[in-house]
Amino acid sequence: MLQQTQVSTVIPYYERFLSRFPTVEALAEADQDVVMAHWAGLGYYARARNLHRCAQVLVAEHSGRFPRSSAAIAQLPGIGRSTAAAIAAFAYGERSPIMDGNVKRVFTRYFGIHGYPGLRAVEQKLWTLAEEVISNAPTTLDMGRYTQGQMDLGAQVCTRSKPRCEVCPLAASCVAKRQGLQQTLPERRPKKAIPEKTCAMLVMHQDGHMLLQKQPDQGLWGGLWSLPSFETSDVLALTCRGKGIELSAENRMAAFVHTFTHFKLRIEPWQVQASYGIAEMSPDQSWIPFTALDDTAMPTPVRKIVAELPALQAQLQLRVGL
C-alpha cells in the first residue's frame, strides 16, 4: 500500500484490510471482488490484484510462508527487487540493498549522482553503489537496522525540499552538502505535457439498482466496477437511443477532471432513470442494488458520481472518497 501512496492515507486502509484479511490464508481464499472493495480509493489497482495473487502463490507453493532469499521473493507476483530485498533484510537478515525513493535521494546526494534517478543508467549506478557499500560493511552489520535507517534518513532528514543537513550524520562527507547541491539533487523528472482524455459515463438506474460494468483486469481501474463509459457523449446518446432512451440537457450531470499520474481524464456523466426491466447492454454489466454499492469496489471518481445521484441519496448514505 505504501508504494505510490502516502502513509497518512494508507493507515485507515491498512487497518481495515488487516482486519478483514488477518492471515495470508484469509487473503488467498478471498474473492477478488472483496479484495478490490477493500482497496478501492488507493489507486494503482494492479497492486491489489498482485497482492491477492501473491497470497495465493504463497499458500499453494510455499505453505503460506515467504521464501528466505530476496531472489526467490522477487519471483512472487507484484514484488520487485527493492521490496524483495527489504523483506529478506527484515525477516531473515539477508545482506541485500534496497533502493526505494527515500534511499535513492540519500545516495544521489551523498555520492553526488547527477541525472534523473528514474533513468535506467542512473538507477543501475545507484544499485551498484548500494551493493558496494554493503560488501564493504562489517560482517556484524544489522541489516534490519541498516535498511530501516536508510529509509528513515530519507523520510525525516534528507527530505525532498528542506533537508535537515544540520542534524544529518552523513553531512561531513556528503557531496551535495559540500557543493551546495541539496536543492539540485536528485534531478527532477524531465517535464512533459500531461495529455487530457475525455469519456462519457452512463449513470443508469432503475427500481433501486445501478447499472455497473466490470472492468477487465488489465487496464484502467482493472478489476473494479465502473459506470459504462463511452468515447464521447454522442456515442453514449446513440447507444441509449438504441435502447429507446433519448437524452436531453436534463440528463447531463456536472463534468469534472480526474488526474492520474500520466494523464487527465475529463468525465462527462449522464443520468438516466430507466424503465423497469431494461436489460444490460453487454455481458460484463450487472444491475447492482443501491444497498450493495457501499461494499462494491468502485474507483473514487465513479463512487463520487454515484453518490451525487438524488435517487440514491434518498435511500442511503454512500461512503465517498475513502
Q: Each residue of 124-153: pLDDT tens digit?
A: 999 999 999 999 999 999 999 999 999 999
Residue 315 has pLDDT above 70, yes or no: no
Q: Which fold has domain 196-313?
A: Nucleoside Triphosphate Pyrophosphohydrolase (3.90.79)
Q: What's the pLDDT score for residue 270?
A: 96
**Rounded Cα–Cα distance for residues 138 and 216 (Å):** 50
Using an 8 Å Cβ cutoff, are 109 and 176 in contact? yes
Average pLDDT rounded to a whole number, residues 169-193: 94
State the pLDDT at residue 16: 96
190 — pLDDT class (breaks 50, 70, 90): confident
Q: What is the dihedral of CA 28, 224, 217, 85, to 10 degrees?
A: -50
Residues 6 and 160: their CA atoms lie apart, in Å, by 14
Topology of domain 1-65 in CATH is Endonuclease III; domain 1 (1.10.340)
Round to the nearest angstrom and report the end-to-end CA distance of the chain: 14
Residues 6+ apart with CB under 8 A from 290: 205, 208, 209, 210, 312, 315, 316
At residue 209, φ and ψ (nearest 5 deg) are -130, 150
pLDDT at 117: 95
E strand segments, the chain: 196-206, 209-214, 225-226, 229-230, 256-259, 264-273, 285-289
Return the number of other C-beta atoms located less than 10 Å from residue 136's C-beta: 7
Task: Please state the rounded mean pLDDT for residues 304-318.
Answer: 71
**The predicted structure's pLDDT at residue 313:** 63
Nearest by Cα to 56 from 37, 70, 77, 42: 77
Which pLDDT belongs to residue 261?
Answer: 83
Alpha carbon distance 238, 226 (integer Å):
20
Domain regions of the chain by residue span = 1-65, 97-191, 196-313
| pLDDT at residue 141, rounded to an integer | 96
- Residue that is written with C-alpha cell 482524455 in the block: 197
The pLDDT value recorded for residue 320 is 40
Please, what is the average pLDDT of the chain? 92
Of residues 262 and 225, more confidence is placed in 225
Give the Cα separation of 225 and 222 in Å (integer): 9
| Closest to 105 (Cα-Cα) out of 172, 25, 169, 185 | 185
Residue 105: predicted pLDDT: 97
Evaluate if residue 66 carries a pLDDT over 50: yes
Closest CA to 27 of 51, 43, 44, 47: 51
* SS3 assignment, position 108: helix
- In this prediction, residue 317 carries a pLDDT of 47
In the Cβ-directed half-sphere of 240, how many Cα atoms lie within 13 Å? 25
Residue 321 has a pLDDT of 38
Instruction: Please give the pLDDT value at position 243.
Output: 84
CATH number of 97-191: 3.30.70.20, 3.40.50.300, 1.20.140.10, 1.10.1670.10?
1.10.1670.10
d(CA 200, CA 127): 44
**What are φ and ψ of residue 95, in 5° steps?**
-85, 75
Q: Is the pTM of this model over 0.95?
A: no
Residue 46 has pLDDT above 60, yes or no: yes
Q: How confident is the model at residue 309 (pLDDT cuts 50, 70, 90)?
A: confident
- The residue assigned the cell 447531463 is 252
- Which range among 185-199, 223-237, 305-319 shows the weakest confidence by mean pLDDT? 305-319
- Mark residue 115 as left, alpha or beta (left: phi above 0; alpha: psi -120 to 50; beta: remaining): left
Residue 186: asked if its preceding bond is cis (omega within 30°), the reply is yes
Closest Cα partner for 262 from 176, 195, 206, 322? 195
User: Contact, 49 vs 30, CB < 8 A?
Assistant: no
Residue 174's pLDDT is 98
Higher per-residue pLDDT: 226 or 262: 226
Per-residue confidence (pLDDT) for residue 282, from 0 to 100: 81
Average pLDDT over residues 193-208: 92
User: Over the stretch 256-275, which tens digit does the pLDDT of each residue have?
Assistant: 999 998 899 999 999 998 87
Mean pLDDT of 272-289: 82
65-83: average pLDDT: 96
| Percent with pLDDT over 90 in the chain | 81
